[in-house]
Amino acid sequence: MIELFARRAAGLSLVALTAVVPLAAYPSLRDWDAELAGRTNSSSTTVPELLLGGIGIWLIIGTGLWWHWRRTTMWPVWARWAAFPSLFISVFTCFSIAEQRSTPIALAVGVGLILACWSLSEAVRLVMTRPVTSRLVSSTMEIPFPTRGLKARLCVRDDRIVLDGLASRRKRSRDVIAVPWQTLRSIKLIDVEQDMVCQVLVFSGLPEANTREFDVTPGPALHLVGTARELLVPVTEEVGRAVLRAAEIRSATIEVDEEDLTEGEWHRKSGARRTDSLTDAQRRAGAHHRTDYRPYKMAVVAGFLLMPLLMLSGMTLSLAAGSKKWQEQFYVVDGVVKPWNVVILGVGSILFLFLLNRFVMKPFFSFMEGQNFIEAFPEPPAPPKNTGTVPGSGRKRKKR
């Protein structure tokens, strides 16, 4: 427990530091620019004021970290997003100084800020995932492992093992191939004796899957077999043994169904939504094959109900505190709450949340629902043949 707390505390501190470093540099850069221009009225904005001005960004970053509390591989990404706004204005100021004041050293300062923020975000990844200790393995935190000769990485999560980033290292959340513990039939470390090509089907959001192929060179490899997936992932001997240990510990309490699944059983066990409960558009898109459905819309409904209540609470608090500033913010005129203000604020809040849900949250959750699914399979699994390989998944052949 102490180790996990220390890892998360260090990670959060580094995320904050990644955001603060370029933010703290900005007032100095503005003073430098004013000095070179011969001005005396440089920016008087302080770092605390800048932090308060970006409170909305901090709320988004905090929400993202809470969302990916166990997904440690996403923490460096959120650290970079946290640094981006202040890094952008700081680097832009450096380039402006270099161009307008003929000071090439400003370019070096801008590049140094970029490298510093990138290094800090990488430090977040290291403190969260390395070294791989027994306490980390027995926890629910995601542990990434490198593969041998592939762009993808192998991630051991609390409920599944995932191979992601087959197409690009920059798009780790795309092309995810997952095998949940309840569908994992076997995982072994074997030696591959000849070049092979492993072909897998990746969920595309449509009835037709995307096909991905990757090379498997001679050497150690993990052989994973699920109810609808067979994978051969090249790894080093050390990584393979670490993954086996993590998979053994995390799947120890999960009951594995060794029997072949019928279509009905597959839908029931995977938690997939039934076709008759979907709209025509969702049915055409194959939405009933997704298995990570959650009632996210309930949060929006709660928001609809809470926003007017929040405004009423703000009005009451402003009256109780006697703060003129708060009363102005919550439309309390001369200590009197006008009913029409409450109605306008309530309707405006609901309209805002409706537009936010329609054009932002709904597309976002639609995308996220496609990220985790049972073995990334586009359709219920077919009964395996006697070839020893599950049809439609993990087909191996000699490399031409």
Q: Which two tokens stand for residue 19?
A: 């955001």
Enumerate residues 6+ apart whose C-beta is below 8 A from 390: 225, 226, 227, 228, 229, 230, 381, 384
Residue 4 has pLDDT above 70, yes or no: yes
- pTM for this one? 0.69
Tell me, what's the pLDDT at 391?
Answer: 36
Enumerate residues 6+ apart whose C-beta is below 8 A from 273: 287, 288, 290, 293
Instruction: From 365, 370, 362, select the one nearest 206 (Cα to Cα).
Output: 370
Measured CA to CA in angstroms, residue 335 lies from 49, 254, 303, 315, 346 at distances of 29, 60, 27, 9, 19
Question: What average pLDDT does this structure show over 106-117?
Answer: 93
Residue 65 has pLDDT above 80, yes or no: yes
Measured CA to CA in angstroms, residue 52 lies from 59, 162, 261, 341 at distances of 11, 39, 55, 28
Would you mind telling me the total number of residues written for the chain in this entry? Answer: 400
Enumerate residues 6+ apart whose C-beta is below 8 A from 180: 159, 160, 226, 374, 375
Residue 190 has pLDDT above 70, yes or no: yes
- Contact status, residue 43 vs residue 112, Cβ threshold 8 Å: no
Residue with tokens 């309490």: 253
What is the distance between the alpha carbons of residues 248 and 189, in angstroms, rounded to a whole number?
13
Residue 78 has pLDDT above 80, yes or no: yes
What is the distance between the alpha carbons of residues 350 and 342, in angstroms, rounded to a whole number?
12
Residue 202 has pLDDT above 50, yes or no: yes
Burial of residue 159 (CB within 10 Å: 0-12, 13-18, 19+) is middle
Q: How confident is residue 8, by pLDDT bands cut at 50, 70 and 90? A: very high
Question: What average pLDDT does this structure show over 195-223?
Answer: 79
Amino acid 66 reads: W
Measured CA to CA in angstroms, residue 392 lies from 50, 154, 376, 389 at distances of 54, 21, 11, 9
207 preceded by a cis bond (ω within 30 of 0): no
Question: What average pLDDT does this structure show over 284-289?
Answer: 50
Question: What average pLDDT does this structure show over 215-237?
Answer: 89
Tell me, what's the pLDDT at 40?
Answer: 65
Q: Which two tokens stand for residue 78?
A: 């959120």
Q: How confident is residue 104, by pLDDT bands cut at 50, 70 and 90? A: confident
Residue 245 has pLDDT above 90, yes or no: yes
Q: How is residue 273 annotated by DSSP? A: P
For the ranges 64-68, 219-223, 294-298, the lowest mean pLDDT is seen at 294-298
Nearest 10 degrees: Cα torsion 264, 266, 271, 275? -50
